[in-house]
């Protein structure tokens, strides 16, 4: 999964449907969720990940208090989010 930082974030989410996973390298559930997302084949959204330790300013901006958090952006605006690990089917329903 593509990893983005603050400098890349605005351009990445500015158009279309983008799903951002806020996570950390030390987070076990984050690693499991990353593998689940990487197994999803869809052209409905584009996925990327933000490391909260490397991009603390984004974590603060989006009020990330626990990880993993997944946010769906539509044309640059937050549409919805979930916290914690989810199944592949749950994620597919989330991005519908």
Tell me what the mean pLDDT of segment 70-96 comes to.
96
Tell me what the mean pLDDT of segment 5-12 comes to.
95
Query: Strand, helix or coil at 20?
Result: strand
pLDDT computed for residue 93 by the predictor: 95
Q: Over the stretch 22-73, which tens digit does the pLDDT of each residue have?
A: 999 999 999 999 999 999 999 999 999 999 999 999 999 999 999 999 999 9
> What is the spatial order of strands in the sheet that 77-83 belongs to?
2-3, 46-51, 17-23, 69-74, 77-83
Which residues are part of the catalytic machinery? 27, 30
Give dist(CA 77, CA 96) in Å, integer: 16
Q: What is the pTM of this model?
A: 0.95
pLDDT computed for residue 19 by the predictor: 97
pLDDT computed for residue 4 by the predictor: 96
């Amino acid at each position: 999964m593509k990893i983005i930082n603050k400098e890349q974030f605005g351009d990445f989410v500015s158009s279309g449907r983008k799903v951002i996973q806020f996570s950390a390298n030390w987070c076990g559930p984050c690693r499991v969720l990353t593998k689940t997302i990487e197994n999803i084949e869809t052209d409905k959204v584009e996925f990327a990940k933000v490391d909260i330790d490397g991009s603390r300013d984004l974590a603060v901006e989006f009020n990330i208090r626990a990880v993993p958090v997944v946010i769906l952006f539509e044309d640059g605006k937050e549409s919805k989010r979930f916290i914690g690990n989810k199944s592949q089917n749950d994620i597919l329903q989330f991005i519908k």
